[in-house]
Amino acid sequence: MKIIEHQENGINYYTLVNNHHMSVTIMDWGATVTAIKTHDKDGNFANIVLGFDDGADYITYQSFFGATIARVAGIIKNARWRQYDLTQNAGENHLNGGNMPQISFEPWFLERKLHTSDQVGLVMQYITLDGENGYPGTMTITANFVLGSVLKLLK
């Protein structure tokens, strides 16, 4: 069980590896899962995540592949929630929490690493401020990524 860290083009990558050589790679840009490498039914080792080969493409194309999405995932019709007018970023609608900023395309803070004999993980955090994208109140969002020894990722 280990965590491997590297940086590329100003983006931090963290690879969680278990004792079965399964690995999960998360980048701090959008708290995005960029790779899950595991054995398939025939014993071949492969990345099973739909995404980009180059981490910079996540920034360039902003596709939501593997990204953590909040305050809301999906569309809010007419960009209106309760009494709040939200940013319109999908025609007259509000998509995936807005885009000013879109937290899926912002760097997240690594709050802490988790490491025990049977699991490794990360706790990542993003703070969205009062009024961002029209939402009320400052909110701290925490994403937990944990890889255990039983071949599964908990998010």
| 49's tokens | 């995540």
Query: What's the CA gap between 81 and 88, in Å, rounded?
Result: 12
Q: What is the pLDDT of residues 134-147, one digit of tens each?
A: 999 999 999 999 99
Q: What is the pLDDT of residues 37-52, one digit of tens each?
A: 998 778 888 999 999 9
Q: What is the pLDDT of residues 62-98, one digit of tens each?
A: 788 888 887 888 899 999 999 999 999 999 999 988 8
46 forms beta bridges with 38
| 40's tokens | 């398939």
Query: What's the CA gap between 40 and 21, in Å, rounded?
Result: 13
Confidence bin at 152 (pLDDT 50/70/90): low
Average per-residue pLDDT for the chain: 90
Query: What's the CA gap between 4 and 13, in Å, rounded?
Result: 8
Looking at per-residue pLDDT, the higher value among 100 and 11 belongs to 11
Q: Which residues are CB-contacts of 40 (< 8 A; sequence separation ≥ 6)?
A: 46, 48
User: Of the candidates 39, 62, 72, 34, which has an alpha carbon nearest to the alpha carbon of residue 50?
Assistant: 34
Contact predicate 77/85, CB 8 Å: no
**How many helices (H) and strands (E) are present in the chain, helices listed first?**
1, 13
- Residue 64 confidence (pLDDT): 81
Helix (H, G, I), strand (E, B) or coil at 133: helix
User: pLDDT at residue 130 above 60?
Assistant: yes
